A and B are shown apart, each in its own frame.
Chain A
């Protein structure tokens, strides 16, 4: 049952998402691409690009898009897919909301406590690792082309990648502007 699966998977993604935004990408990728095959690697990368250029938290964006696409892929009509999208989005929210209500007071009171600092002292580096994993797993044939089959696409992809990395990291070019530039490059060159 696709709706139950969506509810379960996105509730799980919501509750294990510490640090927000990009940190949850490897989690979403693991569930949505690797385990359930709701999206292809390409579709996942595309939705990250779309999320960057649309309003709202990236986790909600991914949930909405995945909910819609997964239900369509399962052969349901559009109205059911819209329901699937809303279901997936709300699934990300509800458990953290309940936790937030109960934990927030406790954490405000104990935010200086040693054990809280201990836990977050290792949790934060781990989240950097999650982020690294998300980037590494997307360095694939689907996103960059293969050096043997399509050397032109591969080399150009690597150039775009380096350009985008240097541009956003060193020259602080806004991510949305960067996506537009690279999209324009793709349109003109390919």
Chain B
């Protein structure tokens, strides 16, 4: 198996078995990339995690491109990124086609009437675990509140909140040096 095929198969596998996306796949990727394939050392894997978290883009795709990049340069990176995305594109396409056909089906509608409030709760839940990870304290607790308020009540685009937060943090750091 060529190294490209190996990269492709490994990340397609990771992409297929990651339900819920993002952080759920860290464990699986660690096992494949560090323990099975020895592509990265554990320290390198941790560094990759930090980079993937601090660069824009989808976490899983970032991880895959970084590993591919390390192994085989830009071509390896492209193979890794595409392989991770492919299984979900195929799965969702099938579902989208199915959804259009079954739209208005009374049973499907009933199921989703139960599912929708559940989804809202599922989005709210990681708010709290992420608040811990973001190290919310007496000085910065207002940042998420103000962001949410701007987006919900004033229709401000989330993009402006991200930009303002990044620039604000940089300036604050310079001033309090």
A156 to chain B, nearest CB (A): 8
A158 located at the interface, meaning its Cβ lies under 8 Å from any Cβ of chain B in the complex: yes
For the complex formed, measure the closest distance between the CB of B172 and the CB atoms of chain A, giving whole angstroms. Answer: 6
Q: Tell whether B104 is near chain A: CB-to-CB under 8 Å.
A: no
Provided the pairs A69-B96, A101-B69, A135-B127 are in contact, do residues A182 and B58 lie with their beta carbons within 8 angstroms?
A: no
**A60-B58 contact, Cβ under 8 Å, with A86-B89, A178-B122:** yes
**Per-position binary interface string of chain B over residues 82-100, scored 1 when its CB falls under 8 Å from any chain A CB and 0 otherwise:** 1011011101110111011
Contact across chains for A89 and B20 when beta carbons are under 8 A apart: no
Contacting residue for A122 out of B60, B91, B166, CB 8 A: B166
- Chain B count of residues within 8 A CB distance of the other chain: 96
> Which residues on B sit within 8 Å (CB–CB) of A57?
18, 21-22, 58-61, 84-85, 88
Q: How far is the CA of A184 from the CA of B152 in the complex (A)?
A: 31
B-contacting residues, A159-190, CB 8 Å: 160-165, 168-169, 175-176, 178-179, 181-187, 189-190
Q: Give A contacts to B, CB under 8 Å.
A: 12, 14-27, 30, 34, 42, 45-46, 48-61, 64-65, 68-69, 72, 78, 81-82, 85-86, 89-90, 92-93, 95-97, 99-101, 103-104, 107-108, 111, 114-139, 142-144, 153, 157-158, 160-165, 168-169, 175-176, 178-179, 181-187, 189-190
Query: Shortest 7 CB-CB distances between A and B: which pairs?
Result: A186-B114, A56-B88, A96-B57, A129-B147, A118-B173, A122-B169, A20-B59
B residues adjacent to A (C-beta < 8 A): 15-23, 47, 50-62, 65-66, 69, 74, 77-78, 81-82, 84-85, 87-89, 91-93, 95-97, 99-100, 107, 110-128, 130-131, 133-136, 140-141, 143-148, 151-152, 155, 157-159, 161-162, 164-166, 168-170, 172-174, 177
